[in-house]
Structure 1
């Protein structure tokens, strides 16, 4: 389980990216790189990192479900994810 501060920091970055998205796009289209440098560093979408919504785990993220592989497996075996069942052949 990730620390609450790490999850909060990532959420803060997501909000900052959304806030400056239009401004960044306009500055990039105009080629004004000096103004881009003056924007906050965390306003860049490159600094975002996918994390599990439940545990905050940074690795093994499944984009389709928004959770880590470990959490996905636990929830799938418990029947908490509709339409997902264990494969056997």
Structure 2
């Protein structure tokens, strides 16, 4: 089980990412736009605005965590579970459509 503080920190990052998503996206499209040629000083101002946003609002700082345990590693996107929890649930036949391999 992951620490509660780490799980709460991740939730806070998700909220920040949702809050600043449109601002970040609009600034990036303005910087990259080839239709309206911006001067170098305007682009640097836009980059400064982008860098002034909170770090935790960047989508790359998010981790996918296990739904049950909060484990940040070995997560399966389809189920939202970590590997060992997924394996236990498959053995107990709690996941429909998932079969265990036997050879």
Q: Offset of 1:83 from its aligned partner?
A: 0.8
Give SS of 1:87's match. Answer: coil
Q: Which residue of 2 aligns with 1:22?
A: 22
Give unpaired runs (5+ residues) of structure 2: 32-45
Cα shift readout 1:16-61 (whole Å, capped 9, x = no counterpart): 1111111100011112111111111100001111111110111111
Q: Which residue of 2 aligns with 1:86?
A: 100
Q: Which residue of 1 aligns with 2:51?
A: 37
Alignment size in residue pairs: 89
Name the Cα RMSD after superposition: 1.0
**TM superposition outliers: structure 1 runs of 4+ over 3 Å:** none
TM-score normalized with structure 1 length: 0.92
TM-score normalized with structure 2 length: 0.81
Alignment of 1:1-89 (within 5 A): 1-31=1-31, 32-89=46-103
Q: Which residue of 1 aligns with 2:42?
A: none
Aligned counterparts of 1:56 and 1:82: Cα–Cα separation in 2:
22
Give unpaired runs (5+ residues) of structure 1: none
Query: Whose Rg is larger?
Result: 2
